[in-house]
């Protein structure tokens, strides 16, 4: 008896330790970035264009650029991803073709982001002649986050109990009505989780935007979706490695803004999700 | 009048032969009870009547099944399911309010006027003897009701789309005796206007409410007769054994 108790305590200890090991690096990253970056944050930093070869001034164009890119990626990827997920979970029969499609989507999630960058360059920038532009960058980021959105949306749709579908169909509702009025509303929290994940990934990636949109230095705001734009992750890369003598606090300040922007967008999605969950009645 | 007519009906789920050459006529305005042990095919038969078996990936059928003298495979599936409602074994409210649960089917069939929908909701809840218990809280979640109330809500929801037949799939298996009595009472009153097919694991329930009773065993219809006859002088030995509780 005492032996079981002891092994249980040991197991708990290691489980707790593993969990702690996850929290510690995350906490450290946040603390270090805040500590080193906070002194750089002021109104000018957030609202001004970069000056003196990006060593002074602000990062406003990069903030706006990242915002546009993430927004564009979601606008493109969410509808397509959701429709594909509905097809796969509700309509697709279990045959070879559909199994290949599902496998392809899973594998797409594992493709390195720089490959998406090259793909975006070849397809959007060169072949479709969108040039290096917000449109090309958004579409490239959108394709990158599609598998995340499809996979999580599919799981969300499939987790809606089969019995709800049977009840709805047994009342004479059509399959589409059942999906539209019963399945989809109950899957929204899960779909939003996928969107949150995609959003964070799109905001933080450098490689896909490198060839498709990101401007090294562009001290003005983009005027249309066919303009190039600065973006936070690429700007961070540039001032950290390409431009000499940039003050450390400017680099960490940029990182802090990027981190905060992602957290802020996540927070908005989490609040929306929370409101849907509250309405959920089972 | 014959509502349903099954002739030499065979069905398969993948390799499993679930119904074997079943012949049954369901008369209008009767309660037909179907009894039998687990895996006897009674629920599979019931789910044939509103074609819910079609959802099963490996489903196949042969033989003939008519609803109002028309092949069920040739009737538009939404029309068939509107006319043939179903109450499931467990109370299965939709994740909506009480009001929206009842209104759901009505809305799906195109009714938009709120006044008309409200009237149907009230009427259906009264038919299922639930109105007095819920009339002041129609907007709360249906999941806040007790099990028995939820099952009567499901009956009301089925009634709201004005079916001709109601299929009950072991409707009282999760309910206490008092709730069961209320559901049975509702069934007996509904018989006047609807045809009822009741699948039940509870032999006594079949005896209480059924006009006729069918006994299924291993996918075959063993015996079908007037309920008194089945329970007093069954022809087949297996029927006799089952209702005396010798196996099951």
- What pLDDT is stored for residue B52 in this prediction? 94
- What pLDDT is stored for residue B243 in this prediction? 87
Both tokens of A158, joined, read 């499939």
Please tell me the distance from the alpha carbon of residue A266 to that of residue A9, in angstroms, as a whole number.
37
Place of tokens 């290096």: A132
Report the gap between the CA of A148 and the closest CA in chain B (Å). 27
Both tokens of B142, joined, read 């249906």
Q: What are phi and psi of B165, to 5 degrees?
A: -125, 145
pLDDT (average), residues B18-31:
93
Please tell me the distance from the alpha carbon of residue B96 to that of residue A44, in angstroms, as a whole number.
50
What is the pairing mode between strands B195-199 and B31-35? parallel
Burial of A64 (0-12, 13-18, 19+ CB in 10 A): middle
Q: What is the predicted ipTM?
A: 0.91
Angle at B143 between CA B138 and CA B149, to 5 degrees: 70
A-chain residues near B83 (CB < 8 A):
172
At B157-191, the pLDDT tens digits run: 999 999 999 999 998 887 888 889 888 988 899 98
At B112-147, the pLDDT tens digits run: 999 999 999 999 999 888 899 999 999 999 999 988
pLDDT (average), residues B73-88:
94
- Judge whether A147 lies within some domain: yes
Helices then strands (H, E): number in chain A? 12, 2
Using pLDDT thresholds of 50, 70 and 90, give the confidence band for residue B216.
very high
- Judge whether A214 lies within some domain: yes
- What pLDDT is stored for residue A280 in this prediction? 60
> Does residue B248 surpass a pLDDT of 70?
no
Identify the DSSP state of A49: P
B137 touches chain A (CB under 8 A): no
Name the domain count of chain A.
1
- Judge whether A30 lies within some domain: no
- What pLDDT is stored for residue A12 in this prediction? 93
- What pLDDT is stored for residue B169 in this prediction? 93
- What pLDDT is stored for residue A79 in this prediction? 95
Block mean pLDDT (10 aa), chain A, length 282: 82 93 91 90 84 79 89 94 93 88 88 92 91 90 93 92 94 94 90 86 88 80 82 88 83 91 83 77 52
B-chain residues near A173 (CB < 8 A):
78, 104-105, 108
- Judge whether A18 lies within some domain: no
Both tokens of B59, joined, read 């489903």
Considering the entire predicted model, what is its pTM? Answer: 0.82
Whether residue B34 contacts residue B198, with contact meaning beta carbons closer than 8 Å, is answered with: yes
Residues whose CB falls within 8 Å of the CB of residue B80, separated by 6 or more in sequence, listed in order: B50, B51, B67, B72
Please tell me the distance from the alpha carbon of residue B135 to that of residue A236, in angstroms, as a whole number.
62
- Judge whether A7 lies within some domain: no
Range of the domain at A123: 62-279
Contact residues, B window 2-61, toward A, CB-based 8 Å cutoff:
50, 52, 55, 57
| Residues of chain A with a CB closer than 8 angstroms to some CB in chain B | 93-94, 163-174, 177, 181-182, 186, 280-282
Domains located in chain B, CATH noted: 2-243 (3.40.50.300)
- What pLDDT is stored for residue A267 in this prediction? 86
- Judge whether A22 lies within some domain: no
* CATH number of the domain residue A213 falls in: 1.10.3720.10
pLDDT (average), residues B96-106:
94
B-chain residues near A171 (CB < 8 A):
81-82, 85, 104-105, 108, 157-158, 161
Please tell me the distance from the alpha carbon of residue B15 to that of residue A271, in angstroms, as a whole number.
49
> Does residue B218 surpass a pLDDT of 70?
yes
Interchain CB distance below 8 Å, B161 and A172: yes
Please tell me the distance from the alpha carbon of residue B222 to that of residue B23, in angstroms, as a whole number.
10
- What pLDDT is stored for residue A154 in this prediction? 92
Angle at B236 between CA B234 and CA B237, to 5 degrees: 100
- Judge whether A129 lies within some domain: yes
- Judge whether A109 lies within some domain: yes
- What pLDDT is stored for residue B29 in this prediction? 92
Please tell me the distance from the alpha carbon of residue B150 to that of residue B98, in angstroms, as a whole number.
9
User: B10 pairs with which residues across the strands?
Assistant: B62
Contact residues, B window 71-100, toward A, CB-based 8 Å cutoff:
78-79, 81-83, 85-86, 88, 90, 92, 94-97
Both tokens of B79, joined, read 């029309």
In chain B the first and final C-alpha atoms are separated, in Å, by 33
Both tokens of A133, joined, read 């532009």
> Does residue B77 surpass a pLDDT of 70?
yes
């Amino acid at each position: 008896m005492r032996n079981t108790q002891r092994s249980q305590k040991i197991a708990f200890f290691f489980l707790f330790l593993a969990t702690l090991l996850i929290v510690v690096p995350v906490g450290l990253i946040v603390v270090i970035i805040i500590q080193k970056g906070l002194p750089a944050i002021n109104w000018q930093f957030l609202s001004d264009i970069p000056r003196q070869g990006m060593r002074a001034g602000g990062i406003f164009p990069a903030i706006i650029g990242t915002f546009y890119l993430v927004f564009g990626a979601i606008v493109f990827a969410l509808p397509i991803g959701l429709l594909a997920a509905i097809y796969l979970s509700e309509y697709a029969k279990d045959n070879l073709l559909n199994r290949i499609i599902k496998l392809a989507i899973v594998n797409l999630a594992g493709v390195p982001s720089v490959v998406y960058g090259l793909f975006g360059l070849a397809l959007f920038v060169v072949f479709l002649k969108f040039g290096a532009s917000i449109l090309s960058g958004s579409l490239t980021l959108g394709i990158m986050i599609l598998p995340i959105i499809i996979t999580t949306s599919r799981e969300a749709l499939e987790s809606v109990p089969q019995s709800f579908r049977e009840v709805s169909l047994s009342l004479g509702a059509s399959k589409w009505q059942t999906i539209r009025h019963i399945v989809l509303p109950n899957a929204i929290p899960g779909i939003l989780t996928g969107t949150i994940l995609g959003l964070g990934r799109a905001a933080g990636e450098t490689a896909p935007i490198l060839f498709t949109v990101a401007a090294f230095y562009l001290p003005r705001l983009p005027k249309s979706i066919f303009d190039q734009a600065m973006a936070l992750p690429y700007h961070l890369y540039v001032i950290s490695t390409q431009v000499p003598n940039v003050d450390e606090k400017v680099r960490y300040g940029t990182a802090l803004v990027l981190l905060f922007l992602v957290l802020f967008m996540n927070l908005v999605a989490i609040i929306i999700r929370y409101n849907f969950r509250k309405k959920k009645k089972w | 009048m014959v509502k349903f007519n099954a002739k030499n009906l065979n069905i398969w789920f993948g390799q499993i032969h679930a119904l074997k050459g079943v012949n049954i006529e369901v008369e209008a305005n009767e309660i037909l009870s179907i009894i039998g042990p687990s895996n006897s095919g009674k629920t599979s038969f019931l789910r044939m009547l509103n074609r819910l078996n079609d959802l099963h990936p490996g489903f196949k059928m042969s033989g003939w099944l008519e609803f109002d003298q028309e092949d069920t495979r040739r009737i538009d599936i939404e029309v068939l399911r509107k006319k043939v409602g179903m109450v499931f074994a467990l109370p299965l409210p939709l994740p909506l309010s009480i009001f929206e649960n009842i209104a759901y089917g009505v809305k799906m069939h195109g009714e938009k006027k709120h006044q008309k929908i409200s009237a149907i909701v009230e009427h259906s809840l009264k038919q299922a003897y639930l109105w007095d218990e819920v009339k002041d809280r129609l907007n709360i979640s249906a999941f806040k009701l007790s099990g028995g109330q939820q099952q009567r809500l499901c009956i009301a929801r089925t009634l709201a789309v004005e079916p001709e037949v109601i299929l009950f799939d072991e409707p009282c298996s999760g309910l206490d005796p008092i709730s069961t009595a209320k559901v049975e009472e509702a069934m007996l009153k509904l018989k006047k206007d609807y045809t009822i097919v009741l699948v039940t694991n509870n032999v006594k329930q079949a005896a209480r409410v059924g006009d006729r009773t069918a006994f299924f065993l291993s996918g075959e219809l063993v015996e079908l007769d007037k309920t008194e006859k089945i329970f007093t002088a069954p022809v087949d030995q297996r029927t006799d054994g089952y209702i005396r509780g010798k196996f099951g």
